[in-house]
Every structure is written in C-alpha cells, then in structure tokens.
Chains A and B, each alone.
Chain A
C-alpha cells in the first residue's frame, strides 16, 4: 500500500510538472470559458444584449481573437528581442482581453523561429516578433524557406541604430581619427562583431568610408563587450544600446547610424553629422504569416494603434532601455521596403564574406 502511495506521488508530481511546463511550452491550454463565449457569439445575433456586453469591445472587428494568442520569438529568453516580445504580449493581451504567450524558439541565428512563424497557420492567432533585418540577412545569405513577403508586418516598436565603440584608453577620439588611421594601415584595425548582421554592419562601414578594417567574430553581445573592454579588439560594432555598459567602463561611442539623433542617446553624434551617410538600425517588428483574415489584421492593427498611443506602453520600452519608435501597419511596410533597398545591395556586394 505504501509503495503505491509513493509511486502515486511521483507520478502525480511528474504530471503536475509536465502540465505546468506545457503551459509555457507548446500550446496554451484552451480556455473553455472563452470558447463557450465564442460559440455563443457565432450562433446568436441581437437577441441577447445583456449577455454580450462584456465581449462587445473585443468582438467589434468580428470574432477575432477566438482564443489565446502566441508570439514566437526566434531568440533566447532575456535578450532585447525577447524583452520587446514580452512587453508587447503583456499589453496586447490586455488590449484584446486574451492571454498572449511568448514562445522562444531560438536556433541558427533566428532562422529556426522565423521559419516556424512563416509556416504557422495564418489565422492571426500565431504571431512573431523579430528584429528586422535579421530575416532579410538570412534570406540573402542562407537557403531559407521564407522570404520578405512571407509576412504581414503589423507594426514596429523600436529603432536601435548600429554604433561603433572604442574601449578604454583608445587612440581614437572620433570617427575621423579612426578612418584616417584605417586608411593608412589597411586591415590593421580589428572590429569585433557578432552574428551575420554584425558582420554586415562592419562591411557597410568599410564600403562607405572606403577603408579596410578586419572583422573579428564573437558569439554574442556579452563576449563582444568583454573583448572591447579588455582591449582585445580596437573597435566594437554593436548596437547603441550597449552605450551604458561600455561608457560605464571608460569606453566611448564614436557615433551611430541613424538619420537623426534619438532622444535616448542625444549626447552621442550620428555618423551622418560626422560626414558618413549611413543609416542602419534593428527594428523589432510584430508579424503574422501572410494571408491572415482581414478581420484579424484589422483587430490587431487597431489594438496596436491603441498601444502606440499609450504612454504606459512607451514607458515600458524606455524602462527597458530600448529606443521606442512606433510604426503602424502602413508605415512599417514603407520603412522596411526603403531599408531593403540599402541592405540588399550591401549583402550582394559582399557575398563571399558570409
């Protein structure tokens, strides 16, 4: 008898853990309540006004959402892309009155997760957040199952420009000194970068300034910062959001690749001000697989526009040290297509480096 109790406990415990983890894992458990409501909405029309009051707001654009939503993030938990997804899921969930689950699906520089987004059921319930232009870089450098047009771009939330940093006691005070030195000593300046996009940024700057600096690849932002601060590379090519940790350790930014200064970093000059016309940013976008129903797209766009106006939403980004920039459904398409025109030729010119 005792033995059975013990086995029972072990099994019950394991079941509990599996169930608990399943929650966060593949699929959210169906909310039976929500389903009943949904079914009721479909059947009855105007007969029963009282019962329907609660659902009126959400049901305004048809029956979307019918169930909880999922946001796939192609990066690991804790990074910038993941942080954006979690802020969006929180606020979007409140807006739509459902739970929005974040699922991390990292691997192959984002390819695994982005592929899954593209192949998911286009019913508007599975969405994705990734950092543009990761998808474009992947599409042009490896043999992917998705392309730029595999997605409906619903909105963009931030603009994180690329920047160049020098470490403590660097001989370079500004970008001109760096370029001058690199011109005289081709190949000698080492620039740490991480990921395909990091490499692209170095090559883009090399092209623009007509110099030759040597890219050195690191496994992630942490390693890269370490190498810069320890003096193992001359320059680090990373996003401007590393400003706090690098300048806190006596490193300094040389400039960043935005059209104009952004509020969060308004004491750092842009490249353009210093005579180098380079605009290259990562922008976290919310996407759905192409071909989602119009009513879903409308409901999502409307919810996003409400968030775009919400100060609380903006504050969450600023708290997380992310330069907030909201672009709605139409603006995001225009912006990304513009950017594609800069990025694609860059990759094509430097194809052998990838």
Chain B
C-alpha cells in the first residue's frame, strides 16, 4: 500500500466518523467524575474487535485524546475534576467561574488542549525513533531523580502555608506506602485486608479528595448560600489571542508534557503538575495562582494533551506501552494479530500511518467539539446545585467501583472524601497529596532497584546512580529546581 492510498484512507468518511465518535465519547467519560479515558477505552475495547485494526485504534486514540480534555470541563464548572490530570484546571478554573468567567476558562482549556495535543502528536510523527531511545535511557537512577524533582514541584505549587503543603505531601506519601513493601516483602498497614496488599489506587483517592469532598461540602447548604453564577459571554478570538500572547508558555508546557509523558507509569500526572509549577514560576503574577490565573489552565491543559502523543512513542517504536491506556490500546491491536514495535512501519504501514496522521485528526475533532460544545457545557451552571450533588455522587462512587469492580475502592473514595472535606475546611491543599501518592512508591522502588544493582555490581550507590550522563543532568536540574522553588516561596511569601 503506498502513501497516497493511506492518505486517502485517512480522509475517508469512515475515519472522520470514527475519530469524532471517539473524541466525543472521550470528552464525555473524561468529564464524568470517576470515569476517565482508560475506563472509556476498556469499555469500548470489545467493539474494536469488529472494526478494521487501524480504525479500532483510532477510535481508542480519539477517546484517549478527548478524555484528557474532558476532565477540565467539570473541573472548571463545578470544581470537580473528572480526572487527576484536570486538578490544576479546577484550581485555576473554578475561581474564574465564581467570577462569572466560566466560558472564558473553558475556552482557555480547549484551545490550550488543542495546541498541546498538536505539539504532542507532531513530535510523535517527527521524532519517534530518537525519543524512544531517550525513553530507554531512563533506568532506576534516572527515574529516581525525576520523581524526586516531582516532589520538589509541590513547593512551588500550592498553598499559602508551606507547612500545610508539606503535611499534605507527607499524607500522600503515607497513603502510597500502604501495601507490601518491595524492599522487605513485609506488609505495611495492610490490616490483613487483601485489597490493601497491592496498595491504594490513585483513582479512588482522586475521586474522594476532589469530587466527593466538594460535594459533601455542598450538602446541607441552603439555596441562598449557593452562588448562582452569572456568565459573561466572551469571543473565542479574544481567548485565542490571549493564548497566542503567551505562546511560549503553551509551547513550553507542550514540550514538558511530551518529554515527561514518555516516562512509563506516572508520565501524565507528573507532566501536568510540573508544567503548572513552571507556569507559576515564570508568571508575572504568581500571586494570582489559585485565584483564577488563566496561565495555570493553559500550562496544565497543554501538558496533559501533549502526553497523549508522547505516551504512544514507546508503544509504536518499541512495542512497550508507556501508560495503562496505551497498554489497552496495545491489547486491542494484538487481538488483531498486529504486533507493535519497530517492524510495524514495515509490516503494516497502513495501520501505523493511518494511526499517526489520524491522531492529528483527533486533535482537530477535539477542538471543534470542544469549541462548539462550550455553550452547552456551561448550561450546567444553570442547574441548581441540589440536582448536581446526587448526580456527581452517583458517578463518583460508580467510577470508583468500575476501576476494578471493587467495593473496596468505593470505601476508599468515601473515606478520602471525608478527609478531603475536612482538609478543605482547614485549608490543607489537596494536590500535594496526589503527587505524594503517585511519586512515593516510584521513588522508593527505584531507589531499591538502584541499591540492588549497585550491590550486585559492587560499587557505591552514588557511583552507580551517576554513571549515566542523563542522571547527572537530572540531578543538576533537581538542584536548580530546589533553588528556584525556595526563591519563589520567598517572593510570594
């Protein structure tokens, strides 16, 4: 099959239909608290068996792309991020909603998502082989340093009171510690509950802290206490020109998202918070963060959609899935007898190229659906909160359950919902908890791996960890970030 034919195939009606359907489903599952792209993809996985393989993975790719954006809709409108990657969008977007600037915030989100998604996919198309070898360079030592810099970001990130932020981070690290220790095999805080052995999943924690806590606080409020927001109208082009004024920020966030999105497992979460922290660092108005600074939305939304493209780099180039979502996409292809990896471009160019260029289409579809849909999304604000609370509660609990069909996760979500509500009352920031939870196990296991390997090679730990030039660069970056964060805190008080 030659390039022209592949190109024509991409422009066919079928492909458009599939891409739009995928993105639309993705936006819906992303917007619904508790459901995310990964869940949407596993629900639709069986359907792809009936489609042509290249169409099947485009459908899933569309859900992935749409899902990354969708979470920010409820985050901005209701302060309920549909997914952890939308948490910064809630931190900046909801204050804007309270100021009557909901539509504006939504436009910032969709257009930044579009730019970010575009950067990620273009980099995927142009630089897959070199990026794949970069991803391979990340061994235990490198992963250790980069995860540690993620913890440093907390300092830049959030909260007026550094001790409250530190407490939140430690609380997150504590939750992450529950389960069987990789070091000694001993059980930590598992209380003989089998579900606790594997540790606590991130999704129910996010649902509890962000969705349930917000809803719990709404319960019992009198109608007069809930604010009925007025919504100012805004021209799309005004927002686009605002974004273009900060094109370097958006571009930088897209690149951060792309690079960190390469890392298996935690790429997306880390990328989102790192570019958010970076936006705050470089902002002319860092004091406006968490009070509704559009720069925070631009950075985090550009970063999370950029990870969509880059998390597929290891999958396409090496056959190694870089995130749970891409693992399911790989599974969908395997069922069709298509083995991912470097040979894919030689053996099935139709699948490989349709997918690559089709992913560009998913960005376009996301932008169109998002930009047209915002008018309708913002109707949510006109619904009385007393109707919203039960709906969100149902979805959040259902989402916690559906992750692995487990009532245990529902319990986790409820308990953390209560804790989250208390923390909100006493102004403990919630984002550091998630960062601690995600990074803690990563820091620990990679340190242990480094120790094991260093011992096997009979060299001191530090010598092993700094053999690779990349590790040295990462360590220097880590130290620079520490200095910058300390300065930033002095500046903002």
Contacts and interface: CB of A to CB of B under 8 A. Distances in A.
Contacts of B46: 86, 102
Interface stretch (A244-252, A270-278, A295-303, A336-344): A244-252
Contacts of A208: none
B314 A226 contact: yes
A214 interface: yes
Interface residues of B, number: 68
Contact of A77 (B42, B49, B395): B42
9 contacts: A25-B401, A25-B402, A76-B324, A77-B331, A108-B198, A112-B404, A187-B456, A249-B318, A318-B337
Contact of B394 (A7, A14, A232): A14
Given A107-B195, A108-B198, A230-B137, A216 B394 contact: no
A189 interface: yes
Interface stretch (B170-178, B290-298, B379-387): B379-387
Nearest to A14: B391
Contact of B458 (A3, A90, A188, A244): A188
Contact of B195 (A18, A112, A144, A244): A112
Contacts of A10: 380, 383, 387, 391
Contacts of A249: 318, 341-342
B371 interface: no
A78 B456 contact: no
A25 B43 CA distance: 9
A74 to B, nearest CB: 10
Residue from the set A20, A216, A318 with the largest chain B CB neighbour count within 10 Å: A216
B405 A105 contact: yes
Interface string B389-420: 00100110010011011100000000000000
A82 interface: yes
Given A10-B391, A77-B42, A245-B318, A142 B197 contact: yes
B320 interface: yes
Interface of B: 28, 32, 35, 42-43, 45-46, 49, 135-140, 182, 185, 192, 194-195, 197-198, 264-265, 314, 318-322, 324, 327-332, 334-337, 339-343, 379-380, 382-384, 387, 391, 394-395, 398, 401-402, 404-406, 445, 449, 452-453, 455-458
Interface stretch (A44-52, A123-131, A217-225): A217-225
Interface of A: 3, 6-7, 10-11, 14, 17-18, 20-21, 24-26, 76-79, 82-83, 86-87, 90, 102-109, 111-112, 115, 142-145, 187-190, 214, 216-219, 222-223, 225-227, 229-233, 244-245, 248-249, 318-321, 353-354
B300 to A, nearest CB: 26
A227 B341 contact: no
Contacts of A222: 264, 314, 320-322, 327
Overall SS of chain B's interface: helix
B331 A79 contact: yes
Contacts of A24: 43
Contacts of A78: 42, 45, 321, 327-332
A6 B192 CA distance: 47
A227 B139 contact: yes
Given A77-B331, A214-B456, A229-B136, A245 B197 contact: no
Contacts of A87: 335
A21 B197 contact: no
Leading 4 A-B pairs by shortest Cβ distance: A78-B331, A319-B337, A232-B139, A230-B136
Given A83-B334, A105-B404, A223-B264, A321 B339 contact: yes
B198 A107 contact: yes
Contacts of A111: 194, 197
